[in-house]
Amino acid sequence: MVHFSKIYFDHNATSPLHPEVLKVVNEAEGVFGNPSSIHWAGREARKKLSAARLQVANLLGAHESELLFTSGGTESINTAIQGVWKQQTGDSKQKSRHQIITTPVEHQATLRTLEFLESQGAEIVFLKVDAQGKISLEELSQKINDNTLLVSVMFANNEIGNLYPIHEIGKICRDQNILFHCDAVQAVGKTLIDLKNLPVDLLSFSAHKFHGPKGVGGLFVRQGVALAPLHYGGLQEKKMRAGTENLSGICGMAKALELVLQDLEKDTFKINRLKEILEEKLLLKVGGLQIQGELENRLSNTTNLYVEGVDGESLLLNLDLAGIAASAGSACESGSIDPSHVLLAMGFDEVRARGSIRFSLSKFNTEEEVDFVAEEFSKIVERLRK
């Protein structure tokens, strides 16, 4: 068996920059003008910005006028959700719409934004999820009423990898004339997204999840959807996102998206195969393991495992000592790990929610790494159980 000193199986947290993307970022750093300046330096920068916007728009099936560049997933999600809320509170005709429907398995960027809006008078309604993390479309239809302003559901879950029925949710929202925001941070770059045919009004994404730079992302705002800006300042991004654009980051994101979509089918097949091998080996070597979430309908790169009789944090620390980066729950302020809110929402108790671990792979991983992780994992679990 090949021995590794470092293995990275935590790509849903963030992913390494693609070397080709780094080249594009470095090159764009040389274009120093402010895209809002009217002189030659500004024009050079604006040209690059426009080219990157067109490229991202084409790759996602959007029109370039429908894309806002942001500092990443969290800002896109805040801009979408708070933007819809602020826009309607200024519009007397729609003031009665104060209900927002979501799921309890969303990322904290959504949950905390909604918590804030609740303090501002919004009514937040959570759809139930079952033990596999699935939602019910019937429940969504039942929950929608005259007060519903927005539905926000993620495309793919970062912890368990479940894919949610975005087409169907979008159709329900369209039929009822309700805005639909989708947090696609874990989906863009891992699955094909064609915004021409996807019935969403707003869609958030983030470059560092698909081998792009950190601190840059985007929000798709379908033509005709009105939003109030989150903060105030310059007139950039159609007055929707004040502040000088992160040009090199945006160019890097466009390149990263191009590269990741170029071989998506082939790479997805490879990543899925690696995940299957990892799961097969682990299930064979280690007793008391259960894969959590939907088995079929999930991201090809994600596996979330319940390890009976083992604390996830201890497992994570021991894996780290062996050079293996994985993830469990979410780090809380004290630096330790909180039980996963996703697993708790699925009805599992705290012990189980603490005894779980997530591996998330990418095309840069290999079968040799999978073998090594399976071997180390089984040794560590055996030790911890003793």
Residues in contact with ligand PLP by the rule CB under 6 A? 72-74, 107, 109, 154, 158, 183, 185-186, 206, 217
Q: Are the beta carbons of 192 and 210 closer than 8 angstroms?
A: no
Both tokens of 360, joined, read 């998330």
Given 173, 182, 251, 332, which residue is catalytic? 332
Cβ-based nearer residue to ligand PLP, 226 or 331: 331
Cβ-based nearer residue to ligand PLP, 33 or 217: 217
Cβ-based nearer residue to ligand PLP, 88 or 292: 292
Both tokens of 205, joined, read 């994404």
CB-neighbour burial class of residue 149 (10 A; exposed 0-12, middle 13-18, buried 19+): buried
Cβ-based nearer residue to ligand PLP, 205 or 377: 205
Residue 263, classed as helix, strand or coil, is: coil
- Least distance to ligand PLP, CB of residue 76, Å: 8
DSSP letters for 21-60: HHHHHHHHHT--S-TT--SHHHHHHHHHHHHHHHHHHHHH
β-sheet bridge partners, residue 8: 325
Active site residue 173: no
Cβ-based nearer residue to ligand PLP, 102 or 318: 102
- Least distance to ligand PLP, CB of residue 376, Å: 25
Distance (Å) of CA 299 to CA 54, 76, 163, 186, 246: 27, 22, 7, 9, 29
Residue 318, classed as helix, strand or coil, is: helix
- Least distance to ligand PLP, CB of residue 107, Å: 3
- Least distance to ligand PLP, CB of residue 381, Å: 26
- Least distance to ligand PLP, CB of residue 71, Å: 8
- Please choose, from the candidates 382, 163, 381, 376, the residue with its C-alpha nearest in 3D space to the C-alpha of residue 278: 376
Place of tokens 């979501």: 102
The CB-nearest residue to ligand PLP is 73
Element (H, E) at 335: none
What is the set of active-site residues? 332
